[in-house]
Amino acid sequence: MKQTAPAEVDFALITRWIEAYFADPSAYPVRSAVEPGAVAAALPATAPEAGEPFERILADFERIVVPGITHWNHPRFFAYFATSAAPAAVAAEALAATLDVKAMLWRTSPAATELEEVTMRWLATLLGLSSGWTGIIYDTASIAGFTALAAAREALDLNIRELGASGRELPRLRVYVTEHTHSHIEKAAIALGIGRQNVVQVPTDAAFRMRPDALRDAVRGDRAAGYRPCAIVATVGTTSTTSIDPVPAIAEVARAERVWLHVDAAYAGMAAMVPEFRDLLAGIEGADSLVVNPHKWMFVPMDLSVLFVRDPAVLRRTFALVPEYLSTTDGAVTNFMDYGLQLGRRFRALKLWFVLRHLGAEGIRTRLRAHVALAQEFAGWVAAERDWEILAPHPLSVVCFRHRAAEAGDEELDALNARLLDAANATGEVFLSHTKIDGRYALRLAIGNLRTTRDDVAAAWHILRECAGARI
Ligand code: PLP
């Protein structure tokens, strides 16, 4: 059968589309209003047999896909951890996709490996880390966290890598977290055969921070009971409230008890670039691994997470496996496939390099400072109102709060605030999310978008108050 040549692609159309989008992402409703199933229903049941003109595909992208998009780049996106893509990084993504590198071996693209090594050193320096850390790029913090826990398990010298974790006498391994630790750690424990029941929730203090005394007791108690402590996970910037576990004191416990300390600073870690927030990573030199997510609060588009480790040899011991067809004679080079599960790796360092160069470290710091200042101002507006209340300390750019109708009990307030959130989001003007704090439903406003201004935050506050006033 005769092969048809792929139709021409008019890249200028795409460039114009992206430029128009970035000129004003708020031209779109922040949250997609499509009904469940609507996007799928607009698509044919089978793939096309014949190639189609590029213009037609792009038209369907606009007609079918774009209405189903929730716009993380919209300046009034305040949900989850608000993030946004720096246009320079989007350009880098296009170039990375064009080159279609699989950055697994140094020789499969020396520039991909070496740019990763250099940008990792740049990032370590910006975060104030000592030269003793090695950074490696993964897709997400979930995978970076899994990789760190796999290394912690290997460091126990139980030879699980070779002999497996079943069919022989092994101690029960324990991982220490708090109720505020991100769920990916528990998932990692599932995947690594540690088991959810061995993920121990250490009590927290009134500001939702791990209590080092309780941690010490838990580790010692477990040892006395025959368990084997495997890893402690401290969080700098927890997902619900951005509480900051006391890493210096936790590191002391980890050192005294000889347990691997992993620090999850996926969101807040980036702020350590700012001198006034440098203390966020205080005590980090006592940790074994650290995760920060440039794709959260450094304007690098999904996905790019960094795992820093003190001893990269443990990662290699955990993951390196070189079949003949991948063996090389390249000598003293880094082959990043040896540091994790993934073989083919995207050329992610390119977008990090573009962002660091285009915004500059100071440009990034200025924006992070502005986000924190906006969140603090918003918290001030909430705290000043009698029928609103702040529900958690807000050291960074996230504020947890609720509307408080007089005389209402917690249960009523939960329902009221859930309705209030739905009503505010239904305006299509803003998008916020929620969490639960001490069992109470909390509205959560997160600021992290390159384009968010004071007017946007003021608009969110106005909408929330209007909705509350409308007695939803
Ligand atoms: N760690 C923390 C503290 C988080 O808040 C999140 C996600 O919000 C993660 C890890 C997981 O991040 P990722 O989506 O990169 O896996």
Same domain, 371 and 451: yes
Same domain, 467 and 432: yes
Query: Is residue 421 in some structural domain?
Result: yes
| Residue 408 pLDDT class (50, 70, 90 cuts) | confident
Helices (H), 27-79: 38-41, 54-60
**245 falls within a domain:** yes
Task: Answer whether 241 contacts ligand 1 (Cβ < 6 A).
Answer: no
> 303 preceded by cis ω (within 30°)?
yes
Q: pLDDT exceeding 90 applies to what percent of the chain? A: 96
Give pLDDT, residue 470. Answer: 85
Query: Which pLDDT score, from 0 to 100, does residue 426 have?
Result: 94
What length is written for the chain?
472
Q: Are residues 127 and 263 in the same domain?
A: yes
Answer with the residue of higher pLDDT: 1 or 54. 54
- Please tell me whether residues 397 and 329 are part of one structural domain: no
Quick check: 427 and 463 in contact, CB under 8 A?
yes
**174 strand-pairing partners:** 229
Query: Do 126 and 245 sit in the same domain of this protein?
Result: yes
**What is the domain extent for residue 336?**
102-346
Among residues 428, 442, 440, the alpha carbon closest in space to that of 76 is found at: 428
- Ligand 1 neighbourhood includes 180 CB (under 6 angstroms): no
Average pLDDT over residues 11-40: 96
Pick from 95-104, 305-314, 402-411, 455-464: least confident = 402-411
Q: Which of 221, 136, 139, 138 is nearest to 176 (CA)?
A: 221
Alpha-carbon dihedral 134, 137, 140, 146, rounded to 10 degrees: -50
Task: Look at residue 74 and tell me if it is in a domain.
Answer: yes
160 and 254 both lie in a single domain: yes
pLDDT of residue 172: 96
Of the residues 239, 292, 304, which should be mutated to test ligand 1's pocket, given the most ligand atoms within 8 Å of the CB? 239
Q: 4 vs 291, which has greater pLDDT? A: 291
CATH classification of the domain holding 153: 3.40.640.10
Residue where a domain terminates, one of 324, 346, 368: 346
Last residue of a domain, one of 293, 316, 346: 346
Verify whether ligand 1 is closer than 6 Å to residue 113 (CB atom).
Answer: no
Structural contact between residues 443 and 402, judged by C-beta atoms closer than 8 angstroms = yes
Residue 143 Cα to ligand 1 midpoint, Å, equals 10
- Mean pLDDT across the stretch 80-93? 97
Does 2 fall in a domain? no
Any domain includes 3: no
Confidence of residue 410 (pLDDT cuts 50, 70, 90): confident
Q: Are 340 and 392 members of one domain?
A: no
Cα(7) to ligand 1 centroid in Å equals 40
6 pLDDT higher than 90: no
- Amino acid identity for residue 258 in this structure: R
- Beta partners for 177? 201
- CA 152, 156, 162, 165: dihedral to nearest 10 degrees? -90
Q: Specify whether 160 is located in the same domain as 18.
A: no
- Count of beta carbons in the 10 Å neighbourhood of residue 400: 26
- In percent, how much of the chain has pLDDT > 70? 98
Average pLDDT, the chain: 96
440 and 295 housed in the same domain:
no
Same domain, 123 and 208: yes
Name the DSSP letter for residue 470: T
| Whole-prediction pTM | 0.96
Q: What pLDDT sits at residue 472?
A: 62
- Measure Cα distances from 76 to 127, 189, 401, 458, 459 in Å: 28, 36, 18, 10, 8
- At 54, the pLDDT band (50, 70, 90 cuts) reads very high
Pairwise CA distance, residues 374 & 408, whole Å: 30
| Cα-to-centroid distance, 463 and ligand 1 (Å) | 28
Same domain, 201 and 260: yes
CA distance to 30, 85, 99, 122, 366, per residue, from 74 (Å): 6, 10, 29, 29, 20
Output the DSSP codes for 415-452. HHHHHHHHHHHHTSS-B-EEEEETTEEEEEEE---TT-
Give a yes or no: residue 36 inside a domain.
no
What are the DSSP calls for 77-138, one per residue? Answer: B-SSS-----HHHHHHHHHHHHHT--TTSGGG-HHHHHHHHHHHHHHHHHTT--TT-EEEEE
Provide the pLDDT for residue 407: 79
Please check whether residue 196 lies inside any domain of the structure.
yes
User: Could you tell me if 172 and 275 lie in one domain?
Assistant: yes
> Domain of 370: which CATH number?
3.90.1150.170
Distance 414 CA to ligand 1 centre (A): 25
Q: What are the strands of the beta sheet with 398-403, ordered from one edge? A: 388-390, 398-403, 440-446, 433-437
Identity (one letter) of the amino acid at 192? Answer: L
Average pLDDT over residues 104-128: 98
State the pLDDT confidence band at 86, using cuts at 50, 70 and 90.
Answer: very high
Q: Distance, CA 71 to ligand 1 centroid (Å)?
A: 19
Of 346, 368, 392, the one marking the end of a domain is: 346
Nearest-atom number in ligand 1 for the CA of 296 is 15
Please check whether residue 1 lies inside any domain of the structure: no
User: Number of structural domains, the chain?
Assistant: 2
Per-residue pLDDT tens over the stretch 155-174: 999 999 999 999 999 999 99
DSSP character at residue 63: I
Picking from 178, 231, 172, the residue whose alpha carbon sits closest to that of residue 197 is: 172
